[in-house]
Amino acid sequence: MDDPHDDPVSAWLLRAATRPGEALASWRGGQPAILRTGIVFDALLVSRGIGVCLIEALGESASGPVVFSNLAATAAFLLPAGTFVRGGELPLVGRCAGAGGSVRIPSPLGRGRMEVRWAVRPAAPDHLHSPERLWSAYPAALDIALAGLPPGEADEAREAVLHQVGLLTFH
């Protein structure tokens, strides 16, 4: 399949586009499209470093889509629409993008520039991360991320981040 228009994952993602024709043109031109969150997916945007650690901590269950933005140094984990009761910023965790938000999404066929790319491509329409599995992977991801810090500092940082993860309000 060479055309995103013929791909079921692309058609599913295009439901989140304000202007589907422009999104398709962006993907065909190798550019990411800006898609609205809260329609077919919500997104948890974290630092790229934590994103890599979360993917590692999830292991085999890291099957939901993840987008890396090299320009913003972020990873966006796509979750079911309606996951977040409200969007917002948690300084130590990341940004929750639900209804009314948006994220840059590369072509589902993997073509495009490297500034925004799939770390984990969508396997099928509606095949997203489980919020519970993602949150439960956070402690292991933090252990990976904080491995080089002295024990006292690592414990403090881990406690602060896990406290904020606990503040996430989702359905």
pLDDT tens sequence across 10-58: 889 999 999 999 999 998 888 999 999 999 999 999 888 889 989 999 9
> How high is the pLDDT of residue 136?
83
> How high is the pLDDT of residue 80?
92
Can you give the pTM of this predicted structure?
Answer: 0.84
Task: Map residue 3 onto helix, strand or coil.
Answer: coil
> How many Å apart are CA 53 and CA 108, to the nearest integer?
23
Decide the pairing of beta strands 102-105 and 33-36: antiparallel
pLDDT in tens, 54-65: 999 998 777 799
pLDDT in tens, 68-92: 998 888 899 999 998 876 555 554 5
With a pLDDT cut of 70, the percent of the chain lying above it is: 78
> How many Å apart are CA 47 and CA 76, to the nearest integer?
9
> How high is the pLDDT of residue 1?
45
> How high is the pLDDT of residue 7?
81
**Are 79 and 128 within 8 A, CB to CB?**
yes
> How high is the pLDDT of residue 124?
87
Average pLDDT over residues 94-102: 84
Confidence bin at 96 (pLDDT 50/70/90): confident
